[in-house]
Amino acid sequence: MKFQNLTIQEMRQKLKSGDLTSVELTRACLARIKATDSQLNAFITVCEEEALAAAAIADQQLAAGNAELLTGIPVAVKDIFNTLDVRTTCGSKILDNYVSPYDATAIVKLRQQGAVIVGKLNMDEFAMGSSSENSAAGAVRNPWDQERVPGGSSGGSAAAVAAGQVVATLGTDTGGSVRQPASHCGVVGLKPTYGRVSRYGVIAFASSLDQVGPVAGNVEDCALMLGAVAGYDPADSTSVDCPVPDYLENLQEGVAGKKIGLPKEYFIDGLDADIKQAVDAAIATYRQLGAEIVEVTLPHTDYSVACYYLIAMAEASSNLARYDGVRFGVRKDNGEGLIGMYQQTRSAGFGDEVKRRIMLGTYALSSGYYDAYYLKAQKVRTLIRQDFQNVFEQVDFLLTPVAPTPAFKIGEKVDDPLQMYLSDIFTIPTNLAGTCGLSLPCGFSQEGLPIGLQLIGKPFAEAEILQAAYAFEQATDWANKVPTL
């Protein structure tokens, strides 16, 4: 059997029984990456030596009977995670030479669980984008159709899993950056509740919205990955000190008697016909599984893109002030003094999309405009959160499309930033409200492109949407489809 068809749970069994060693598994994984990545460009850095060393240690632990959740399993992470002694670029020229002096908390947790980190995944520069085209390392390609984008910003994280390069990955989701690429690549991606996973050591984009999320080939593996990285971290004052449930324990719970809300604002004219059909079929499946379906309303949905981009750009302009050529990164200096050095460094180091967001964010925060733009957006954010609080008094979770269209063509939206931003309309509100959401495969377009279904849960109700996703996955066979590569 090819390793790329195994799940994490199957790998664990084979490692435990001695059918397979971690070194063998890691070599197979590295070989698969070597064979396929010239087509996909999903990886920025492959850590062959470090991975094989970690695999050898994992084999010793397995032999001694000391297996943790991920002992000996090869995984990969978005290049936004600080990873000790490994190049960490965040998809940017400005961090081209940056080698991290420490591990992000999520990386520490993966290592504690015995995971073998095989590399760093490609992404939109500083996680700003919905297509993974804005990367200093070049665009990522969709494994289902290499002329198309894999989604973004965690495009590498989703493409690598879809292509069987690794069994699971970590991404980050600020406005849909895990769920939208998972949808476009036909894999499972989860954005946990804000505060569920530590952001320490995750290169910051918009600090009040950023959240770490797992991507995997099926719901059970996604639940396992979440369990591995979730939890309070004193190093992240916004992580929440509440117990982490065992996400695998009641996965088979089912949805009988559950009340599922369909927000009418997410089923608008202009929604792609294939997507509408696939989502309608999913609704019928849930009905058959015993759930009650009710229409609900999130009246401020239409304002979420404007609200999100003002807040995210304002926070980004502040977070990205640190890239000044002083402490790390690539410095450009042609002898025009300190301010000149800052300007040359930043102008040469940032890509167009990042500059655009820094500019808009700086403008929105600048004297005379703060109240009209930033403060106004923060107030609208309150209204959007209230929408969710209201519907969660009526239903257990929400069911929606992930994106208004399947994966678009590479280059199609690069010259029209607003069109690109509007493609995030169904994923953004979850981040603004601070709640959790996941994307799972629910069908294909007529052109053979994967379509994702989004389940949005109450704050800290990841277990509940994972159970609902698992029930759907068991009742359908979308998760078993893989692209040919």
CA torsion angle 72 78 79 83 (round to 10) = -40
Q: Which residues contact 121 (CB under 8 A, 6 or more apart)?
A: 42, 43, 44, 76, 77, 78, 79, 154, 156, 157, 160, 169, 171
Binding mask 194-213 toward other proteins (x if CB under 8 A, else -) reads xx------------xx----
Phi, psi of 128 (to 5 degrees): -100, 95
Nearest approach, Cβ of residue 286 and other proteins (Å): 27
Residue 59 or 233 having the CB closest to other proteins: 233
Beta carbons of 74 and 51 less than 8 angstroms apart? yes
Binding mask 415-454 toward other proteins (x if CB under 8 A, else -) reads --xx------------xxxxx-------------------
Beta carbons of 173 and 179 less than 8 angstroms apart? yes
Instruction: Identify which range of 23-31, 42-50, 117-125, 354-362 contacts other proteins by CB under 8 A.
Output: 354-362
Catalytic residue among 14, 22, 78, 120: 78
Beta carbons of 391 and 438 less than 8 angstroms apart? no
Q: Does 413 bind other proteins (CB under 8 A)?
A: no
Nearest approach, Cβ of residue 428 and other proteins (Å): 13
Q: Does 377 bind other proteins (CB under 8 A)?
A: yes
* 419: nearest Cα among 402, 439, 404, 437: 404
Residue 270 or 337 having the CB closest to other proteins: 337
177 catalytic, yes or no? yes
DSSP 332-375: ---SSHHHHHHHHHHHHHS-HHHHHHHHHHHHHHSTTTHIIIII
476 Rama class: left (phi>0) / alpha (psi -120 to 50) / beta? beta
* 205: nearest Cα among 235, 176, 241, 240: 176
93 catalytic, yes or no? no
Catalytic residue among 22, 100, 153, 317: 153
Q: Does 43 bind other proteins (CB under 8 A)?
A: no
Q: Considering only residues 385, 412, 474, 482, which one is a binding residue for other proteins as defined by CB under 8 A?
A: 385
Nearest approach, Cβ of residue 101 and other proteins (Å): 4
Q: Does 337 bind other proteins (CB under 8 A)?
A: yes
Q: How far from the centroid of its chain's Cα atoms is residue 125's Cα?
A: 14
Q: Does 350 bind other proteins (CB under 8 A)?
A: yes
Q: Does 276 bind other proteins (CB under 8 A)?
A: no
Contacts to other proteins from residues 84-103, by CB under 8 A: 97-99, 101-102
Nearest approach, Cβ of residue 307 and other proteins (Å): 6
Counting every residue, how long is the chain?
Answer: 485
Which residues does the annotation mark as catalytic?
78, 153, 177
Binding residues for other proteins, rule: CB under 8 A, are 97-99, 101-102, 194-195, 208-209, 234, 237-238, 240, 300, 302-303, 305-307, 309-310, 317, 321, 324-331, 333, 335, 337-344, 346-347, 350, 355-356, 358-360, 362-363, 366, 373, 375-383, 385, 417-418, 431-435
